[in-house]
Every structure is written in structure tokens, then in C-alpha cells.
């Protein structure tokens, strides 16, 4: 009954979850996880029942970002119980694989020690990925949630397609930096969601400018489409061209990175600070 006519697995809803929104980037290192976790926390701060699912099996960041490293318990139906911090429920492969969580805590505890090598054969990894992904998507006991944020792995490959085939995604948010190359990839990401019939809710421009902590001066570090955002290639212009909402700018700010590293994302760390432009930026995008 779970096969459609074309023989593909039929998309399922995630139990007890009203809406599922994927945060994606076609390129690694653009700040996708940082943005996913801050958006999820911003929604939770507004009283929206929110969870975050880290689907990056080989590079889970959510355990570090939420400072959570315990092992999830199972409920009576053998479903994983999410771990919670700052009022946000979360599930990550990092909680389940001793390797991954050790890697996370090692990097926090002693940045000088290299992460342990993963010597698992590639073929075995492929099988494990599919199984693990299915468990993460279908066997977590979220309880009633208004929104589940999916932190997708970077790229537009098989894992993203599998997720798109397994579950109903209500929308996707694409994270890009102002750099031409990141933006080109972001446009590719847009194409992938279109093929999967997933509405793109909008694009976020991360590291849009550098706000000097001393004088407050804002510098555009990365080329904004040859210095001119009005040119055809800029993030805002691309959004217009694709008919996608531009959701806003997040500044490049050392404190965003520091907050992330110590496991207290900016939305929580600077709660109550009306002057924090970084926090305001995250709240506005959410």
C-alpha cells in the first residue's frame, strides 16, 4: 500500500507534525545549520510548537548547536524520543552514533585533537544511510508539533531526493551567501525543489555584510554580484527572477559563530537584548 503506481514509495506525513519545512543550501559552509537552528528557536520563542530534525547523517551539527549529547530513549512503540533544549525538540544522527557525537564533543572539548576517522566501507554506509534516514524520518515520537524544521545536508543529491520522496515537505527555505558561486548553486537548489513539487518559501542571504563590533560600520565582505546588488545575479534579483520571496539578511558576525560554538544560538543567547541586530535579523526572517 506504500507504493505508488510508478513503483516509488508514496510520500508520507510525519506523525503529529502539522508542517515540515526544509532548510537547505546547495553548498556546504554557508551557515545553513546555524540559520536552521536559529529559525527554529525563533519560532519556538513565539509559542509555535517547533522541532528540528538534523538529516545530515555524516556531519550532524545540531548536537553542538543545541549543546545536547545524550542518547535518546525509546517510547513504548519503539519510537525515538526527541531531546529538548531551550524549548526546542530535536533529533539528530549525532545522538545515535557514538562516532558522530564523540566527534562533536571532541571538537568542543579540545579543538587541537583531530576527529576520529570513520573507517566504515562506503557500500555499508550507503545501506546504513537509507535505513538511518528512514528511522529519523518516520520513527521519532515528536508529540504534537506545529512546525518541524529539517536541517538538510548540503547539496542537491540522493539524500535530498530520498527525503523528498519519503515525506511530504510543505516548504523549503534556501540559504545562500552573496557570493556568485553560492548563488548559482542556490538556484540549482531551487530547481531541485521545483522537481520535487516542494514550494520554495524564500531565500535567506547569510553573511550579507560584516558589522564591525567596535564602530558598527557595515562592510560587504563578499562580492555582491560585482558590487551591485541590482545586477542580474544578486540574491534579491535572483529571487525576483525565480518568483521567490527574499526573506532577509543575516550579518556576518563573530558572535553568531561564538554562540553557535558554545551551544547557545544567538536567538537564545541574546534574548531580551533589544540592540542585538543579529538576533533581530533571525527573528525577522522567521
Q: At its nearest, how many Å lie between ligand ADP and the CB of residue 275?
A: 17
Q: CB under 8 Å, gap of 24 or more: what pairs does 267-271 form?
A: 267/38, 267/41, 267/42, 267/45, 268/41, 268/86, 271/45
By the rule CB under 6 A, 31 interacts with ligand ADP: yes
CA distance 211 to 279: 13
By the rule CB under 6 A, 29 interacts with ligand ADP: yes
Interface mask (CB under 6 A) for ligand ADP, residues 212-251, using x and -? --------------------------------------x-
By the rule CB under 6 A, 260 interacts with ligand ADP: yes
Interface with ligand ADP by CB under 6 A: which range of 77-85, 219-227, 231-239, 253-261? 253-261
Which residue is listed with cell 560587504? 220
Residue 74, SS3?
Answer: strand
24 close to 152: Cβ distance less than 8 angstroms: yes
CA distance 107 to 230: 41
By the rule CB under 6 A, 61 interacts with ligand ADP: yes
CA distance 269 to 283: 13
By the rule CB under 6 A, 30 interacts with ligand ADP: yes
Interface mask (CB under 6 A) for ligand ADP, residues 130-169, using x and -? ------------------------x---------------
Site residues for ligand ADP per CB under 6 A: 25, 28-34, 61, 154, 206-207, 250, 252-253, 256-257, 260
Amino acid at each position: 500500500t506504500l507504493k505508488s503506481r510508478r513503483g516509488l514509495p508514496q510520500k508520507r506525513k510525519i506523525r503529529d507534525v502539522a508542517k515540515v519545512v526544509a532548510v537547505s543550501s546547495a553548498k556546504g559552509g554557508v551557515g545553513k545549520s546555524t540559520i536552521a537552528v536559529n529559525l527554529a528557536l525563533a519560532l519556538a520563542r513565539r509559542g509555535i510548537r517547533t522541532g528540528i530534525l538534523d538529516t545530515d547523517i555524516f556531519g550532524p551539527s545540531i548536537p553542538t548547536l543545541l549543546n545536547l549529547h545524550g542518547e535518546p530513549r525509546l517510547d513504548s512503540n519503539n519510537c525515538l524520543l526527541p531531546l529538548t533544549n531551550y524549548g526546542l525538540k530535536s533529533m539528530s544522527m549525532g545522538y545515535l552514533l557514538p562516532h558522530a557525537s564523540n566527534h562533536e564533543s571532541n571538537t568542543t572539548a579540545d579543538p587541537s585533537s583531530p576527529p576520529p576517522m570513520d573507517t566504515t566501507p562506503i557500500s555499508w554506509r550507503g545501506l546504513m544511510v537509507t535505513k538511518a534516514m528512514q528511522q529519523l524520518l518516520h520513527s521519532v515520537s515528536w508529540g504534537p508539533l506545529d512546525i518541524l524544521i529539517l536541517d538538510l545536508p548540503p547539496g542537491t543529491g540522493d539524500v535530498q531526493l530520498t527525503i523528498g520522496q519519503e515525506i511530504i515537505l510543505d516548504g523549503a527555505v534556501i540559504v545562500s551567501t552573496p557570493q556568485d558561486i553560492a548563488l548559482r548553486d542556490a538556484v540549482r537548489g531551487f530547481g531541485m525543489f521545483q522537481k520535487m513539487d516542494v514550494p520554495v518559501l524564500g531565500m535567506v542571504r547569510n553573511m550579507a555584510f560584516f558589522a564591525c563590533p567596535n564602530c558598527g560600520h557595515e562592510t560587504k565582505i563578499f562580492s555582491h554580484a560585482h558590487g551591485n546588488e541590482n545586477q542580474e545575479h544578486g540574491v534579491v534579483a535572483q529571487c525576483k527572477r525565480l518568483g521567490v520571496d527574499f526573506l532577509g539578511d543575516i550579518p556576518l558576525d563573530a558572535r553568531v559563530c561564538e554562540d553557535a560554538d558554545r551551544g547557545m544560538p544567538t536567538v537564545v543567547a541574546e534574548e531580551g537584548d533589544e540592540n542585538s541586530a543579529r538576533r533581530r535579523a533571525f527573528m525577522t526572517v522567521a
